Structures are given as C-alpha cells and as structure tokens.
Amino acid sequence: MAKSKHDEIVYAAADWWVRLREPGAADETIEQWLAWTGEDERHLATFERVTELANQLGSLDNVSRQGLIKAFARPVAAPRRWMPLAAAAAVAVVALSGGYLAWTRFASGNASQVYASAVAQNRDITLPDGTQVALGAASTLTTHFTHGQRRVELSNGEAFFQVIHDNSRPFVVAAGDVSVRDIGTAFDVRRTGQRVTIAVTQGRVEIADIRQKAAAGQHGTLDVSAGQLVSYDPHTSSMTIGSIAPEQALAWRSDRLEFIDEPLSVVIANLNRYSTRQMHISDTDLDTLSYTGTIHTDAIDSWLSALPQVFPLRVSTTGNQVILSDAEHSSRR
C-alpha cells in the first residue's frame, strides 16, 4: 500500500531526528533540516511530536541503529483500534530514533538535542535538567549534555534561560565567539550573526570571549549581575556594559522588540525573524546607522512607513521583499 503524505512526513521527521543526533553532525545538516521544516508547516509540527515521543521512549534497550532499522523492516503488529494507522507508524519510527538516542546516551555519555522555531513563532521548552527556555522566533538551539557539563549552542536568534543551578554540572551557553556561564541565573541571549547581546535578569553570569579565553587561559572573563546588559561587537572583539530593566530584556515575549543604540542592520535582521516579508538593506552605508526604540512585531509595516522620517532612506516593496535604500542614492537613479 502506498504511503500517505502524512506517513511520508512522519518518516522524514524521524529520519531527521536521527541524523541530527549523529556524532559530528555538520552545520550543513542543520541547515538542510531547517530548509525542510520551512517547506511545509506540518514538517516542524511533526518533528516536534516525534521528538516528544522519542524522549518518552528514551529508555529502550541499548541496540544499534542498524539493528533497530532492521527490526522496523519486519511486520509490525496491528495497532489498537483507538490508534490511527499513521499514529502507529509514528510510534514505530520514533521507537527507532528513541532507541538510537538511548544508545548514544549510554554508549558515549553524551546526549544532544536540537530545538528550533519558525518565523514569527516563539516556543517554550523544558530541557532534560529542568531548565526553562523561552525560544524566540526563527531561532535554533542545540544542547550537548554530558555527565560533567551542560552546554548549549545558540546558532541564531534569541533565547531566555531560567537555569536549574548545579555546581557539579556547569551550564554554559555558546553564541558565536561568546560563552555565558550560569552562576545561579536567569538571562537572555540574542545572537545576530556574530554580534551577541546578553541581558541578566536574575543572579550572575560569567561571560567570556572564547577566542581570547583560549589564548589567555582562564583570564579575560567578565562577571555580570542582574540588571546589566552586555553587547559583543565582533568587529572589535570588545564588550560594552550597560543597564537594562527585566521588562526590557523580556519585551520580545510580549511581542515587543527593544533596541538600545544598535546598528540598523541588526534591527532589520531581528525583525526578519518576525516578518513573513523579508527586509533587506541595499546600501551598506545604512548598515551602521544607530537605532534605539521599541518595535511591535504586529506593527512592523507601520514602523517601516515611519522610518524615512528618522533616517535618510527610502522604503520600497518588490514582490514579497522590502528594500531599504539610501534616499540620496535612490534619487539619483
């Protein structure tokens, strides 16, 4: 019998679940997975369901991936009447990936998990250690938990962490060239390319430039307390410290993006995480214009309309894209 479209999505989601947890999974694999999730809104929803079920079945016996695949090839007992055939297929496939997770966890002492959100979609996540994470729109987070450390990598976007403190297993967030170590904390991390901002809302964190720390041993770290905002500039490899109220740091969770003296290119990149119409800056001399203010994610078009009153630029629409260009250059064309 031919597979239904839903069954195909389930199989693909389970396959991605396994591939993303293979040792040494490359960035290219993550990029391909993100492209797949963007093809159809059902892809990410199914992947999340597969992940949820796999976590529930993570205590399966230790057997190899190939063994599980071979077992899956054998006929499966008919599902109970209350379970649709597609759901039964999902459980069977997840059993494969769940078993593989158990194999990697117990064989290597290392378990990884990838979390992602779609454009204009925030997510609330609970990590295996109980840490609460609020993941901003179009963001990707990868966890690497071992017996001695909990390491999280923010590939892009924004995340707010309410960490369960454990002296025996430090909690470290890596974002580009910056690492943030928990010292009994709640904090927000936003990564735009290699530019990183960290806002501490509770407790303390230890922030370090990974490259400088590697060159200078344990020196060069920055101790940051609640109410402080740290901005890392990749062009100068420098960190600046400012102040921020908790409600400002977490405004994005209430559909408001707060920017304090940030390049316009950074502002546009973060707005693109909440807009179905992507915005682009066509003239590089606009990139470094500095912006401070609040932008409501449900009123981006209104903000764009008012932008030429603040900056010497022109806003135009081409298809499903918005182009920001230098007003003086545009008048000459």
The ranges assigned to domains in the chain are 1-108, 109-247, 255-332
Contact 268, 239 (CB under 8 A): no
pLDDT reported for residue 196:
97
In this structure, of 30-44, 99-113, 231-245, 314-328, the range with the lowest mean pLDDT score is 99-113
- If you ran DSSP here, which 8-state letter would residue 25 be given? -
Residue partners of 236: CB distance under 8 A and separation at least 6: none
Mean per-residue pLDDT, 251-274? 96
**Identical fold at 109-247 and 255-332?**
no
Phi-psi region of 91 (alpha: psi -120 to 50; beta: other; left: phi over 0): alpha
Does the pLDDT value for residue 96 go beyond 50? no
The correct answer on CATH 2.60.120.1440 for the domain covering 109-247 is: yes
DSSP letter assigned to residue 316: E
Average pLDDT over residues 210-236: 78
Higher pLDDT: 189 or 81? It is 189
- Tokens 């609330």 belong to residue: 124
* Residue 329 scores a pLDDT above 70: no
Question: Measured between alpha carbons, how far is 103 from 180 in angstroms, rounded to an integer?
Answer: 30
Gap between the Cα atoms of 37 and 25, Å rounded? 17
The answer to which of 75-89, 170-184, 191-205 has the lowest mean pLDDT is 75-89
Q: Which CATH class is domain 255-332?
A: alpha beta
Q: What angle do CA 276, 26, 16 make, to 5 degrees?
A: 65
CB 325 within 8 A of CB 313: yes
The pLDDT assigned to 13 comes to 83
Contacts of 304 (CB under 8 A, 6+ apart): 279, 315, 322
Q: pLDDT tens digits for 140-160?
A: 999 999 888 999 999 999 999
| pLDDT of amino acid 227 | 96
Helix axes 85-108, 41-56, angle to 10 degrees: 60
- Determine the pLDDT at residue 19: 78
CA-CA distances (angstroms) from residue 249 to 64, 159, 258?
45, 11, 8
d(CA 244, CA 253): 16
From the list 123, 124, 133, 201, the residue with the least C-alpha distance to 164 is: 133
* Residue 111 pLDDT greater than 90, yes or no: no
Q: What are phi and psi of 134, to 5 degrees?
A: -105, 115
How far is it, in rounded angstroms, from Cα 295 to Cα 252? Answer: 9
